Structure 1
Amino acid sequence: MHTLLIVEDDPFISRSIAATFKEKPFEVLGIAKSVSQARELLELQKPDVCLVDIQLKGEESGTALAADLDLLQIPYLYLTAQTDPYTLAEVSRTNPLGYIVKPFTLASLWSSFSVSWQQYISKQKTIFTVKVDGYLYKIDEADILYLEAFDNYCYLHTTNKKLLLPRTLKSVRESLHASYYFTPHRSYLINLKKVTNLGKRTVEVSGRELPLSEARRPELLKILK
């Protein structure tokens, strides 16, 4: 179940939203009426997604909170009835998943939210995240050319990167979400979309020749055809 934080200063709207999401696969972590309240809640627990009203009572608007959420890498959608130039300029500095325009029905709220959320989830599933030498790398799985076993580690190859991952090839393979990977040899995992040529005992991946076991060749040939 995913978690949601609602940031809305109209109690009727916030309660209606909470009731709607409780009927869905979402747990409402809380309702904040201001940016300061939202920040207090965020210190206690990080939600999976937020709904943020742009025009909130108090000194700071929803766009100020959105800037925090961008830094925390917490996705959010705006709730808004404002389309004036100043608001649009403030919004342009942030990165929401989408917008839900007021007034809205609860059905249209859920419809707009679910489309944006599913697009976000779908994209997240193809991002491989790994920490190497203190740096956090986020790599689109479609950009991976192949992985190469190296003792209890493995190399990850893209067109312009070669990273030594502190994980085994088996461990990395199990954490990938995409279905377009194939094991041509026990020490390699290749991206089928990057295969450029197939030999008798080798497979070429973006111009790089890798070993192909005799037992695995018929299956790979069938897949590529």
Structure 2
Amino acid sequence: MKFINIYIVEDEPLIAATIETALLKQGYTVVGDAEDVITALKDIAILQPDLVLIDIQLDGEKDGVDLAIELDKQQIPYLYLTSQTDLGTIERVKATQPLGYIVKPFTENGLRTNIDLAWHNYEIQNAGFLILKSDGRTHKINQNSILYLKAFDNYCYVYTATRSYLVPHTLKYMSEQLNDAIFVQTHRSYWVNINHIDSIESNKLFLKTEPIPISASQKHLVMSKLKGS
């Protein structure tokens, strides 16, 4: 199971605690929770979870469907937590794009199975793309368009020809999501898309943007990768 950060939106504290306990036992990380839409949106912008679990029926003027609409705009994946609901709400749900539904009451195994299957399908649908969070938004970027990634303390920069993204993850974490057929590590602080390499010197390579260092320990791997591309 891939490491996933999950945020819970549930207005029943006991149920929220039960969900969190079950998720932690299954190896997931829970980054936070909220009982209402406004708090959830503020937290999600800061915490940038990979996946959000949304109870449809929430306290306040806005419900889980309202939250889902906002998450669709930001391309943040989510699953609904549902119990029996009225036809009007079901019609509103049809206009949103959840990864799936977890029906209440649920078991720990059922919770894990629903999340694992939903996340697996999500990754298949986004194969060839890098999903990253930057500036409070989730971006879906074609990996072919990425020039290189650069470490920045516990963060990482992702560079394309048109812009850069500062991502709240380490370079190691981001590199694990790259297509290893087209990316190679040239230095402890850099991963480069070999399709965008223009030339190589003894200790650096050149893209259309700037020179990238090549460490002595990585040079053989870089050259092998280029010859095989």
1:115 corresponds to: 117
User: Shift of residue 44 of structure 1?
Assistant: 2.4
Root-mean-square deviation (Å): 3.9
Separation in structure 2 between the aligned mates of residue 103 and residue 175 of structure 1, nearest angstrom: 34
Separation in structure 1 between the aligned mates of residue 45 and residue 140 of structure 2, nearest angstrom: 25
Q: 1:29 aligns with which of 19, 23, 31?
A: 31
User: Shift of residue 114 of structure 1?
Assistant: 1.1
SS in 1 for 2:6: strand
1:57 corresponds to: 59
2:43 corresponds to: 41
Contact 2:26 2:112 in 1 (8 A): no
Specify every segment of 5 or more residues in structure 2 that has no aligned partner in the other structure, as ranges: 132-138, 146-159, 164-175, 183-193, 199-226
Structure 1: which 4+ aligned runs deviate by more than 4 Å? 136-141, 164-167
Contact 1:5 1:28 in 2 (8 A): yes
User: Shift of residue 112 of structure 1?
Assistant: 1.2
Any idea what the Cα deviations from partners look like across 1:125-150, whole Å, max 9, x if unmatched?
32268xxxxxx884497xx9xxxxxx
Task: State TM-score, norm by structure 1.
Answer: 0.58
Any idea what the Cα deviations from partners look like across 1:44-99, whole Å, max 9, x if unmatched?
22111000000111111101111111112110000011343201111112110000
**Amino-acid identity (%):** 37
1:177 corresponds to: 179
Contact 1:125 1:177 in 2 (8 A): no
Specify every segment of 5 or more residues in structure 1 that has no aligned partner in the other structure, as ranges: 130-135, 145-163, 168-173, 188-215, 221-225
1:69 corresponds to: 71
**Letter matched to residue 72 of structure 1:** Q
Contact 1:53 1:80 in 2 (8 A): yes
Contact 1:126 1:178 in 2 (8 A): no
Task: State TM-score, norm by structure 2.
Answer: 0.57
Q: Kindly tell me the number of residue pairs found equivalent between the two proteins.
A: 162
Contact 2:82 2:104 in 1 (8 A): yes
